[in-house]
Amino acid sequence: MSETTINIDIHKIMKLLPHRYPMLMVDRVIGLEPHKNIKVIKNVTINEPYFTGHYPQRPVMPGVLIVEALAQAAALLTFSDEPVHDENTLYYFVGIEKVRFKRPVEPGDQLVLDVDFISGKLGFFKFKGVATVDGKMAAEAEFVCMVKKNGE
H-run or E-run covering 115: strand 110-121
The one-letter amino acid at 33: E
Sign of CA pseudo-dihedral 95, 101, 106, 110:
negative
Point out the catalytic residue in the list 11, 19, 35, 54.
54
Residues 6+ apart with CB under 8 A from 76: 8, 13, 16, 17, 26, 29, 38, 40
Cis peptide before 62 (omega within 30 of 0): no
**Residue 54 bears catalytic tag:** yes
Q: What does the DSSP assignment read for 72-93?
A: HHHHHHHTTT-SS--TTEEEEE
Active-site positions read 54
